[in-house]
Structure formats: structure tokens, C-alpha cells
Amino acid sequence: MELLTEKDMDKIEEVVKKRYGRVPYIIERMAENPKLLVSKVNYDEAVVDDYKHLDAKTVELISIAVVSALGCEHCIDFHIDAGKKMGITDEQIMTAVMVAGSLANSAVLSKATRSMQKINQFYGKE
């Protein structure tokens, strides 16, 4: 895809709708700052379209997993809806969410126990 510029603001909605079936809230908000929005859309298009190593469904499953781990409720709704429109099954979505949850759980446990270990070492407790 060719790079969009601020002169292409009318095309941005079309590009985003083509990908997701609707325009997400954050894109609507970013439209208030065309330079910022154009750079985001160009970046997103380059990541998703120019790196053709993953198919669209896999990218959407990754998106569902990431926004689930981040806890962005509106993002979760948006990406699950987009995934369902692409034919992603409930089982595939649940698998992505469960993997994200497992990794997020491990990250929480690792951070907390390492912090506890560091504090214990500071106080001379092992």
C-alpha cells in the first residue's frame, strides 16, 4: 500500500473499515490530530500488510490475545467482533485468550517473586 498523507484523511476511514468492518474509537479520536492518525495508520498497514508472514486470522488472534492480556475491555470487544467476522471460531478465540492469560499470570508471578527476593536480599533474608 502507498503511504497515506494528511491529504488522504478521507481514505483512512475506508482503509480501516476494510480491515475491521468498522472504525474503532481510538481512530475516531485520533482524527482530531491528522498527523498522528496518518502515522498510526501507515505504521499499522506496514506491520499487517507488508509483513506477509502471518495470515489475517492469525494476526487477529494475536490481537485478541494481546488486548486480553492488557485488559483493554473495548479493544477485546472490538477484536473479538472483527475475528468472528473473519470466521475465527469461539474455540480459537478461547485458546488465544487462555494462552494470553497463562503468560500474563506467569509475568505477574515472576515480577512479584523477584521483587520479593530483591527486598529480602536487601534486608539480609534469603
Band (15; pLDDT cuts 50, 70, 90)? confident
Q: What is the mean pLDDT of the chain?
A: 91
**pLDDT tens digits for 102-119?**
999 999 999 999 999 999
**pLDDT tens digits for 78-106?**
999 999 999 999 999 999 999 999 999 99
**Under 8 Å CB-to-CB from 86, ≥6 apart: which residues?**
56, 57, 60
pLDDT over threshold 90, residue 4: no
Give the integer Cα–Cα distance in Å for 113 and 91. Answer: 33
- What percent of the chain stands above pLDDT 70? 98
Give the integer Cα–Cα distance in Å for 31 and 33. Answer: 5
- The DSSP 8-state label assigned to residue 46 in this structure reads I
55 vs 45, higher pLDDT: 55
On whether the CB atoms of residues 65 and 100 are closer than 8 A, the answer is: yes
Give the integer Cα–Cα distance in Å for 31 and 18. Answer: 17
